[in-house]
A and B are shown apart, each in its own frame.
Chain A
Amino acid sequence: MAENTAAITESVSLPLQRQRHYNVGVILWRVLLYMVVLWGAVIFAIPFYWMIRTAVMPPYQVNLFPPEWIPDSINFVNFRAPFVGPFPFARWFGNSAIVSVLSSAGVVLSASFVGFGFARLRFPFRNVLFIVVLSTMMLPEHIKLIPTYLLFVKLGWINTVLPLIIPNWFAPPFHVFLMRQFFMTIPQEMDDAAKIDGCGWLGIYGRIHIPLSLPVMGVSAIYQFTFTWNDFLHPLVYLQQVDKYTVALGLRLFEGFMRSNIQDMMASALIAVMPTIVIFFIAQRYFIQGIVMTGVKG
């Protein structure tokens, strides 16, 4: 800060003199700004557009070269392909939905419970334990992969959805951090008032903190849902039977199978990414507010 103030005060120029250049400069700057934002957005949107364009294109048009940008007609026949093929696509979709919903529910419930403990109660070693939470947040997933795999083999959970869900019911550290940061912003007076009215700790958690923290729970749930839906490594390790696959795994199997049939492939991929997009759009404002509110900072 000290450096900034120095930088600002040292550049004392005459505001009036600058005024003339100012307007032309501002207009040029705004034009340039919008051009960059627009072209950047176009580049970011093209891959998506290409996926949709291919998915709705009539099959004869897809393999034309050079590629055509606009489909002659929009048809949805390609979207039937994944469901009529030899693979249980609908089943994969259902598996992904079960795993993602139950993981999100587990994360929200367990992490808010633990986050409340760290934010509101005093107990020995609290700070040390919270530092452990923060450092495990940075722990790479792969280091735990083989032993947890063995554990789930011993438990007989291979080819079930359990290894993908159950660990999320034990308060993943990132979400504990998110919840705890949010609970810290709830005024202490509310707890005290509830305590005087005879509320125990569980009451304070359930009646005050849960209702007030719905936005951050939303953020947590969306993060986890998206992560689980897109996760590839864990399903790859734990699910070996084709009918137990999640959509992400199934797509890869498809890909080997439908190599020549790109419009069916793109239609399948589009269906596969739809839930995360739909959820993002439904919860968008909520989600972005939540990120601003919890102020994820270093």
Chain B
Amino acid sequence: MATLNPAADAGARAPRRKWTPEKREALFGFFFISPWIIGFLVFTLGPMITSLVFGFYRTDLLQIWEAVGFKWFQAVFTDVLVRKAMFNTAYYAFIMVPLSTTLALLIAVLLNQNVKGQSFWRTVYYLPSVVAGAAVAILFKWLYQPDIGLLNSILNPILFRISNFLSLETQLVAPRWVFSQEWAMPSVIIMALWGAGGAMLIFLAGLRGIPTALYEAAKIDGAGPVRQFFSITIPLLTPTILFNVVLNIIASWQVFTQVLIMTQGGPNNATLTMVLHLYNTGFSQFRFGYASAQAWALFLAILVFVLFAIRTSSSWVQYER
């Protein structure tokens, strides 16, 4: 990097001060990264430390500032609602991460098989991830509507026929989706799977990086498509898989907008997630100290799983190309 000829540099610009080119470069280096340094201190490091400090107070951020020691950090482990929220978030993440990664990989691999009109299919699969957010949650809430929603108006007649065909005593009925305690979280997951296109695009980019010569060599050696997939595609794609898994873990543990709009955490707290709960604790009940402690607990949980994914990756990710 930057192996310039010092003589040329000195000739081009007479040094105003006694700075050596190295010092000048270092100075400019810090000048260039200064926006990030300021942003990091003000919007990241500062808030992180402050949020840890808040965890030791009972505070509404206005008048009340009462030191409570480790009370909130202990409460995080004993509070039934926090445990419920932690469980729900883990449930969501542990199903969502493998499922959406597999789905995204599957679509990417299929589209990579010289499919005609690839850009059209790619757009169809990718577009839902562009519109993620409130509008989509509202749309799905309606699709999931148990009595007149689209999904059950398709499912119920099918289930009716199946019941008749098998002559079951009790008629099969489609679940009540977001209104049902058991099905509310699966509903949120199904909706989130609809946005798997983002990861798919990254997989497609990764697939393009695999040299076609490898497949040709495998074909000559008589390896079928399945063999090629497991011996070439998957091993060479492992860095991309790791990348997607890590991004997905971080995003999944922070699921918020969808549950807030579709269920507000209900029914009976079946979809109460950690970010939703800490938002409620802070911004609805004004217990900002407790909310900060919860934020740290969630942060540590995410950290553990991300580090776990990265640490174990050395055994399954192949970096050499």
Contacts and interface: CB of A to CB of B under 8 A. Distances in A.
B54 A146 contact: yes
Nearest to B195: A44
A236 B119 CA distance: 36
B92 interface: no
Given A121-B28, A123-B29, A133-B36, A292 B135 contact: no
B115 A121 contact: no
B139 A29 contact: no
Contacts of B296: 143
Interface residues of B, number: 119
Interface string B4-21: 110011001100000000
Nearest to B135: A269
Interface string A25-50: 00001000110110011001111101
Interface stretch (B80-88, B93-101, B106-114): B106-114
B239 A298 contact: yes
A143 B2 contact: no
A121 B51 contact: no
A7 B221 CA distance: 10
Contacts of B278: 142
Contact of A140 (B150, B243, B299): B299
A54 B317 CA distance: 46
Contacts of A252: 134, 138, 261
B38 interface: yes
B194 A47 contact: yes
A207 interface: no
Nearest to B191: A47
Q: Is the interface of A mostly helix, strand, loop or mixed?
A: helix
B240 A298 contact: yes
Contacts of A124: 26
A230 B132 contact: yes
A143 B242 CA distance: 24
Interface residues on A, range: 35 or more
Contact of A117 (B32, B47, B239, B283): B32
Interface of A: 1, 3-4, 7-9, 11-15, 18, 29, 33-34, 36-37, 40-41, 44-48, 50-51, 63, 65-67, 110, 113-114, 116-118, 120-124, 126, 129, 132-133, 136, 138-151, 153, 167, 169-173, 176, 188, 191-192, 195-198, 200-201, 205, 226, 229-233, 236-237, 247-249, 251-252, 255, 262, 265-266, 269-270, 272-273, 276-277, 280, 284, 288, 291-292, 295-298
Nearest to A289: B205
Interface in B14-68: 22, 25-33, 35-40, 42-44, 46-48, 50-51, 54, 61
B308 interface: no
Interface in B154-177: 157
14 contacts: A110-B36, A140-B298, A142-B254, A146-B47, A196-B8, A230-B132, A230-B133, A232-B260, A237-B279, A269-B138, A273-B133, A273-B136, A288-B122, A297-B209
A153 B51 CA distance: 15
User: What are the 4 closest A-B residue pairs judged by CB atoms, nearest first?
Assistant: A170-B39, A117-B32, A123-B29, A230-B133
B285 interface: no
Contacts of A176: 36
Given A15-B222, A33-B110, A136-B44, A50 B2 contact: no
Given A140-B299, A143-B295, A170-B42, A3 B235 contact: yes
B133 A65 contact: no
Interface string B197-221: 1000110111011000010011011
Contacts of B240: 297-298
A272 B134 contact: yes
Contacts of A276: 130-131
Contacts of A116: 32
